[in-house]
Amino acid sequence: MTPKTSPETSPKTSGYALVTGASSGIGAAIAREYANRGVPLILTARRIERLESLAIELGTKVDVVVLAADLADPGAPAALHAEIVARGLHVAHLVNNAGYGVPGRYLSSDWRTHAEFLQVMVAAVCELTHRFLPAMEAAGHGRIVNVASLAGLVPASAGHTLYGAAKSFLIRFSESLALEVAERGVHVCALCPGFTYTEFHDVNGMRERVSKLPKLLWLDADQVARIGLDAVERGRTRCITGGANRFIAVLSKYLPDGLARALVASRSKEFRDAD
């Protein structure tokens, strides 16, 4: 989709928000929140039809560019960056949101499945950040939100073996990078949602199981988006959404390791499929 221009938001001069995995869930909610704040958008995901539908919805508020990309392809981050540069667009906000889970035991999936997961969840995040960060530093302003998870802050559970590990990496990566770039006007934040009402649990077959969890653990995607964007603007390097989730993170930090692991092991079947 060709971006709509206006005197207030020319794509040549305005900073865009690039949101990966923008076709649904938290990614779509973050795109809507940016549009509400008047920030023009570059939306990317695999499902072009959904992106175009979202672009029509948000195009009445801000300029919207849609670029289909499958970040499981190792060449996708470079191609995406090249296309954005070729269009003369400046990315001032990068939201690394694309992600999913691989259910079951580690050996229940072949290596290609795990390799593609790591490409999307870790390698693509690092490469996109590496490619777009220089222009942010040159402009003296930038925002990077890496959508991690409460799962990266609590003891690991059986099933979805690489998910918590990947999210933990994103948190540490964000914290380290934030220290490096703060003096250059760039804020980096690891957004750590807990259970969020999205399609995520439908896709991985866990909807019925996680729906039995207490409602106080849940937030909707719009709440997560608002909290996350406010946090990065305030310069916070880690943002856990929801009071219950913050309590869980603190509890897991101060409980003895053996006890924390035992508690997670006893309840893991409620939110992770290890079969």
Residues 188-239 pLDDT 10s: 999 999 876 555 544 444 545 545 555 556 588 999 999 999 999 999 999 9
CA-wise closest residue to 168 among 183, 180, 157, 184: 157
Rounded distance between C-alpha atoms, residue 99 and residue 102, angstroms: 10
Indicate whether 196 belongs to any domain. Answer: yes
The 10s digit of each residue's pLDDT in 124-178 is 999 999 999 999 999 999 999 999 999 999 887 888 999 999 999 999 999 999 9
pLDDT band at 261 (very low <50, low <70, confident <90, very high): low
- Cα dihedral 206, 212, 213, 219, rounded to 10, equals 70
Average pLDDT over residues 7-33: 80
CA-wise closest residue to 71 among 44, 50, 51: 44
Active site includes 16? no
Phi then psi for 168, rounded to 5 degrees? -65, -40
Q: Return the pLDDT at 271.
A: 53
Indicate whether 37 belongs to any domain. Answer: yes
User: Would you say residue 108 has pLDDT above 90?
Assistant: yes
Please give the residue range of the domain that contains residue 251. 15-270
**What mean pLDDT value characterizes the chain?**
86
Indicate whether 9 belongs to any domain. Answer: no
Q: Return the pLDDT at 211.
A: 53
pLDDT band at 65 (very low <50, low <70, confident <90, very high): very high
Indicate whether 137 belongs to any domain. Answer: yes
What is the domain-level CATH number for residue 264? Answer: 3.40.50.720
Indicate whether 171 belongs to any domain. Answer: yes
Please state the domain count of the chain.
1
Q: Which of 100, 106, 163, 254 is catalytic?
A: 163
Indicate whether 275 belongs to any domain. Answer: no
Q: Return the pLDDT at 216.
A: 52
Indicate whether 206 belongs to any domain. Answer: yes
User: Would you say residue 269 has pLDDT above 80?
Assistant: no
pLDDT band at 268 (very low <50, low <70, confident <90, very high): low
Indicate whether 219 belongs to any domain. Answer: yes
Locus of tokens 């593609």: 116
Phi then psi for 91, rounded to 5 degrees? -90, 110
Average pLDDT over residues 3-7: 40
